[in-house]
Copies of this chain bind each other. A is one copy, B any other.
Amino acid sequence: MEDSKDINNYMNSLGAAARSAAADLAMVSTEIKNNALLYMSEEIDTRRDEILQCNKVDLEKAKQKAIGDALIDRLELTEARIDGMISGLKIVADLPDPVGEIENLKPTPSGLEISKMRVPLGVVGIIYESRPNVTADAAALCLKSGNACILRGGSEAILSNSVIAECLNQGLKRAGLSENIIQIVNTTDRKAVTALLRMEEFVDVIIPRGGKGLVKLISEEARIPVIKHLDGICHVYIDKEADLEQAINITLNAKTYRYGICGAMETLLIHQEVSTKVLPELSSKLIEAGVELRGCEKTCKIINAKLANSEDWVTEYLAPILSIKLVKDLDSAINHINTFGSAHTDSIVTSNEDNAKYFMKKVDSSSVMHNVPTCWADGFEYGLGAEVGISTDKIHARGPVGLEGLTSQKYLVKGNAQIRGA
């Protein structure tokens, strides 16, 4: 399918099928949606060997292309990760259904009864890279929130994604639902992404999860609303009034809990007045954990680190690398974060409540933290049940996006033939 006209036709056929399936799905009961989720989990359990085999083929091809350790790690499925998909489907089945929830507004002077009803968005297009378990996680959240979805995974995961999608479709079928509720794009041609980004008629929102190449494509091509889930250039700032033992523990955890997650700290900021107290111990623990340090000039005078260049402050390493900068005060730290960060998750370590409040108000990120490592940024940990990703956008949904983020509200207005202007 090299021809762009063929790809456009193919994508339009997916879109039209999704639009039609979404209209029916909006009226489906919670019970039937939950049944489908449980059937899906059974299908994945039954076909786990086949899933692992397909993943192995994907992995071998990816290794030949030398796509990097972080991506290989994300691509790999293990028995534990398959268990994770299965329990994820069950967790979503257990979550309350947001669709149809009614919020009554205050009585109006005219006597109209006004309320808001939570409704699905319609058709959600999800564009993601590498991690095949996103296929099940994202589809489950879309289904529970009443949305049809079109999933476009990374080309390196195409076999894994296809077999997972077969399991999901079988689950839908067993529950008596249309298989068009969950469709995956079965071509690795990038023109399919361009087509998806322009299908205003069929797709209500695009959720991209990926790196800078994807960002650029999307910002240039998208004709439909996008909820971006992009870089996590996360910071920890160690304040002058920090408890230094806490500061060291928080920093270590923020960097080393998992290098490949978007909540991993990439830049450490330290108030210059405490730098000599905290840096020597902290740097030796980081180096011991295998982390490469890149520091500003002042940092390099205190510890043994490579000199950071301007690219380091805007890089999401997703790797055991940390950039470190000394700052002269709280405002400089905030300014650095708002300038070089990605509005994802940033944390202050301090015993001064006023400094913490000021930081949390002024840092313009989706999650702002106090005395907590940034790696806690996660929908499940926030009590949302699950997440389709972490939004770095400001409109619609910021931070971890769960079921509510996949819905909207419409106004219901009831009256007794009140006449306006009477």
Contacts and interface: CB of A to CB of B under 8 A. Distances in A.
B410 A399 contact: yes
Interface stretch (A10-18, A297-305, A373-381): A373-381
A394 B205 contact: yes
A413 B249 contact: no
- The A contact surface, by secondary structure, is loop
A220 B218 CA distance: 13
A419 interface: yes
A340 interface: no
Contacts of A114: 382-383
A182 interface: no
A370 interface: yes
Contacts of A398: 408-411
A200 interface: yes
Residue from A100, A409, A420 whose CB has the most chain B CB atoms within 10 Å? A420
A110 B411 contact: no
Copy number of this protein in the oligomer? 2
Interface residues of A, number: 74
Contact of A253 (B364, B412, B420): B420
A300 to B, nearest CB: 28
A360 B395 contact: no
Contacts of A416: 371
A417 B369 contact: no
Given A394-B204, A421-B257, A410 B368 contact: yes
A26 interface: yes
Interface of A: 23, 26-27, 100, 105-106, 108, 110, 112, 114, 117, 119, 121-122, 200, 204-205, 219-220, 223, 225-227, 243, 246, 249-250, 253, 257-258, 338, 347, 356, 360-362, 364-373, 375-377, 381-383, 393-396, 398-400, 408-422
6 contacts: A117-B361, A249-B417, A249-B419, A257-B420, A369-B412, A369-B413
